[in-house]
Amino acid sequence: MLADRPRALDARWRERDLAVLWHPCTQMREHPDVLPLVPIERGEGAWLHGYDGRRYLDGVSSWWTNLHGHAEPRIAEAIARQARSLEQVILAGFSHAPAVELAERLLAIAPRQPGRAPLSRVFYADNGSAGVEVALKMAFHWFRNRGEEQRTRFIALENGYHGETLGALAVGDIPLYRRVYAPLLAEALFAPSPDAYMALPGESDEQCALRAADALADLFDQHPGEICALILEPRLQCAGGMRMHHPAYLRRARELCDANGVFLIADEIATGFGRTGTMFACEQAGIAPDLMCLSKGLTGGFLPLAAVLASETIYEGFLDDSRERAFLHSHSYTGNPLACAAALASLGIFGSDGVLERNRATAARMAPLAAQVGAGSPHVADVRQAGMVMAFELARDGQRDSPFDPSLRIGLRAYRAALERGVLLRPLGDILYWMPPYCIDEGQLQLLAETTAAAIAEATACA
């Protein structure tokens, strides 16, 4: 029977998968009974099409990577064209056009700050965590090269996230990912998060941000000459629950780094490429970092690639007669031509399709839909937005100080409820969020909002 074919295929793929795969960020024991496993056959625009014959709206851009929709033909074509001429070449001693062109394009759009030399160098890696490792090593090594060997520490923010490798985990502060590996991690210093959700009663977002900046200043004062860099996610702590802060924090952080002779590393791996309303989140504070990490949306969500943009000052700190003073970091696939070609095609779409402008309209449309979702449930404690990111904080009494008992797994319940309705929402704990592909249309936004409301109602019915 034709109608039965998809279901048979679906079951077949699930069975084969569970026989051989070990999935990321997953307690495998929960598959498939607690946690459904959804084999996907193809994607198109904001839709993912399953072998089960059903389609799922990708409300999280497939882990925040996709920008212009799945299987975007222009990016697919750019990759195919590149693959027919040069798929990969060693990037030490050799070069290729896509790597050069992409570096030129990235530097041209990087955040600028009056009175500060623009970012002028691009170092490639092949995923976000690796990009963070590069930035941390560069900052540390730069001071070594100057003979400042006591500068061995990083300041990071509470509730921040920078990836899963040991160096990146060391500057991350999400206990679920970090705690087990703590004995292996270099000790970082953590400054309070400027997270506006944590504002004191009566405090504005800006006052909350400035209070956190004061604590950051104190931390700098307590460790004179020991710090090489401050690393942060500008404007939006994503894995930390889509927590947002006032740009005033970033301005103060920039000033404090300058005053203390310390580098500022902006981790724009998730916030970059238009996600928070501007091309890069740093722009909203009018600041430029010394090092900027990019990945996720860099290739439009097609291929793994990271780019670390550095200032000329940092670059020059490695120019010397000694090889040991050089930055010897490398990855086999550094600057892969296919990934660079995908990134160039994605940047082209920003221009040809007026993506940032269209996003402003889409983000404006998201706001009233999200407000409705919030108003429709007694369990929504906060609805917040940064451009194309919307977050819903669920709480027992709809108040910040009344979190649900974690053992209820409200977020997981919401995930399953949304999936049954054909929408991929993947909550962070009990925080639901929208981070859709930029091509999402009015009908899809409506579906996203209706499903979110239904998922919240169903998930919280147990409480």
Binding site for ligand PLP (CB under 6 A): 127-129, 132, 161-163, 233, 238-239, 267, 269-270, 295-296
> Judged by CB, which is closer to ligand PLP: 247, or 374?
247
Residue with Cβ nearer ligand PLP (66 or 451): 66
The nearer residue to ligand PLP, 151 or 235, going by C-beta atoms, is: 235
**Any idea which residue has 């927590």 for tokens?**
243
Minimum CB separation of residue 319 from ligand PLP in Å reads 29
Q: How is residue 277 written in tokens?
A: 């309303």
Choice between 127 and 336, CB closer to ligand PLP: 127
Q: Which residue lies nearer to ligand PLP by CB, 239 or 244? A: 239
CB of 295 to ligand PLP, least distance (A): 5
Q: State which residue, 103 or 236, has the beta carbon closest to ligand PLP.
A: 236
Q: Which two three-digit tokens encode residue 371? A: 């407000």
CB of 60 to ligand PLP, least distance (A): 12
Three-state DSSP string of the chain: CCCCHHHHHHHHHHHHHHHHCCCCCCCHHHCCCCCCCCCEEEEEECEEEECCCCEEEECCHHHHCCCCCECCHHHHHHHHHHHHHCCCCCCCCCCCHHHHHHHHHHHHHCCCCCCCCCEEEEEEECCHHHHHHHHHHHHHHHHHHCCCCCCCEEEEECCCCCCCCHHHHHCCCCHHHHHHHHHHCCCCEEECCCCHHHCCCCCCHHHHHHHHHHHHHHHHHHCCCCEEEEEECCCEECCCCCEECCCHHHHHHHHHHHHCCCEEEEECCCCCCCCCCCCCHHHHHCCCCCEEEECHHHHCCCCCCEEEEEEHHHHHCCCCCCCCCCCCCCCCCCCCHHHHHHHHHHHHHHHHCCHHHHHHHHHHHHHHHHHHHHHCCCCEEEEEEECCEEEEEECCCCCCCCCCCHHHCHHHHHHHHHHHCCEECCCECCEEEECCCCCCCHHHHHHHHHHHHHHHHHHHCCC
The distance of closest approach from Cβ of residue 36 to ligand PLP in the complex, given in angstroms and rounded to an integer, is 23
Least distance (Å) between residue 278 CB and ligand PLP: 16
Shortest distance (Å) from residue 273 CB to ligand PLP: 12
Q: Which is nearer to ligand PLP, 62 or 362 (CB)?
A: 62
Cis (ω within 30 of 0) for the bond into 73?
Answer: no
295 vs 452, beta carbon nearer ligand PLP:
295
Cβ-proximal residues to 445 (8 Å cutoff; 6+ apart), any chain? 362, 365, 366, 369, 436
Question: Which CB atom, from 239 or from 425, has the smaller least distance to ligand PLP?
Answer: 239
- How far apart are CB 269 and ligand PLP at their closest, in Å? 4
- In whole angstroms, the minimum distance from the beta carbon of 294 to ligand PLP comes to 10
Which is closer to ligand PLP, CB of 50 or CB of 128? 128
Q: To the nearest whole angstrom, how small is the minimum distance from the Cβ of residue 462 to ligand PLP?
A: 30
Short-list 377, 414, 369, CA closest to 396? 377
Report the residue number whose CB is nearest to ligand PLP: 128
Shortest gap between Cβ of 16 and ligand PLP (angstroms)? Answer: 26
